[in-house]
C-alpha cells in the first residue's frame, strides 16, 4: 500500500512548476489530490498525468485572491471527503525586477494577497478539518528570499519573510492538535516563475522540491521538521 493511501491533499498553484511536481508526487504516493489554481486547462493536464500513473486527482479551479472562492473550496472538500490531511500552500507570484519605490500599490497588494493572505485563508479553512481528525500536515512553499535581501524584489521578499513568520507561529498553535506545519524554502528553481524563464542546469528542479514535500508528509509521528532550505548544488 502506498504511504498516503486514503489521505486527501490540497495543493495550490498545482497547474505548473513546483505545484504540478508536488501534486504528481503525492498522487503517486496514494493521496487523492485536489488541484487548485485558476487555469482549469493546466490543472486538467496535471490530473490526466496523475491518473495515467494510477493516481486519483480532481480539478478545483479557484481564484485565491477571492475569499469566497476559498470558502467554497473548503466546503467542497468537506462535503466530498470530510477531511483534509495535507495542505500545500504553493501558489505564489514574484513580479520581480523593480526597486520598491517604483512598485505600484496595486502590485504590492497582489503579491501580499497571493503569497501571504491566501495561505492564511486556506489554513483558516482547512485547519479545523485537521483538528477534528487530530492530525495533518500544512506545508508552506516559501523561498530563500524569506531569509535574505533581494534587490529589486523587496515586495516578494517581504511576503516570504511574512510567510515564514506565519509558518513558525501557526506551527506552535497547531502542534498540540497533532498537526505539523512546515516551510520549504527553495532557491532558484528551473521554472518560469517571476519571469526569470527556464534554463540553467545549475538550478533546482521542481521534482527536488516535491521530494522534500514527500519527506515532510511521511515523517515519524514523534517529531516534525519545521523548515527545509533547498539550495542549488552549485552556483551559476
In the chain, the DSSP E strands lie at 8-12, 32-37, 56-61, 86-89, 136-141, 179-186, 227-230
Coil/strand/helix, residue 85: coil
How many beta carbons lie within 10 A of that of residue 166, not counting itself?
19
Catalytic residues: 156
**CB contact at 8 A, 234 and 47:** no
d(CA 67, CA 73): 10
Q: Which residues contact 167 (CB under 8 A, 6 or more apart)?
A: 140, 142, 181, 182, 183, 226, 227
d(CA 132, CA 9): 16
DSSP secondary structure code for residue 204 in this structure: B
Strands 8-12 and 179-186: unpaired
CB hemisphere CA count around 191 (13 angstroms): 23
Amino acid at each position: 500500500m502506498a504511504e498516503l493511501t486514503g489521505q486527501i491533499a490540497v495543493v495550490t498553484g498545482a497547474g505548473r512548476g513546483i505545484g504540478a511536481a508536488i501534486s504528481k508526487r503525492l498522487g503517486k504516493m496514494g493521496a487523492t489530490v485536489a488541484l487548485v489554481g485558476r487555469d482549469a486547462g493546466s490543472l486538467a493536464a496535471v490530473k490526466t498525468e496523475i491518473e495515467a500513473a494510477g493516481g486519483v486527482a480532481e480539478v478545483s479551479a479557484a481564484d485565491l485572491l477571492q475569499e469566497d472562492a476559498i470558502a467554497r473550496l473548503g466546503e467542497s472538500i468537506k462535503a466530498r471527503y470530510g477531511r483534509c490531511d495535507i495542505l500545500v500552500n504553493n501558489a505564489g507570484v514574484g513580479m520581480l525586477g523593480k526597486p520598491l519605490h517604483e512598485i505600484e500599490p496595486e502590485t504590492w497588494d497582489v503579491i501580499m494577497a497571493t503569497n501571504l493572505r491566501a495561505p492564511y485563508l486556506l489554513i483558516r479553512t482547512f485547519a479545523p478539518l485537521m483538528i477534528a481528525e487530530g492530525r495533518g500536515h500544512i506545508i508552506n512553499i516559501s523561498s530563500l528570499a524569506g531569509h535574505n535581501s533581494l534587490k529589486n524584489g523587496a515586495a516578494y521578499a517581504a511576503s516570504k519573510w511574512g510567510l515564514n513568520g506565519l509558518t513558525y507561529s501557526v506551527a506552535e498553535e497547531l502542534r498540540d492538535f497533532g498537526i505539523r506545519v512546515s516551510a520549504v524554502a527553495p532557491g532558484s528553481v528551473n521554472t518560469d516563475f517571476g519571469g526569470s524563464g527556464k534554463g540553467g542546469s545549475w538550478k533546482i528542479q521542481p521534482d527536488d522540491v516535491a521530494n522534500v514535500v514527500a519527506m515532510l508528509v511521511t515523517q515519524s509521528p514523534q517529531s516534525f521538521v519545521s523548515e527545509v532550505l533547498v539550495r542549488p548544488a552549485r552556483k551559476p
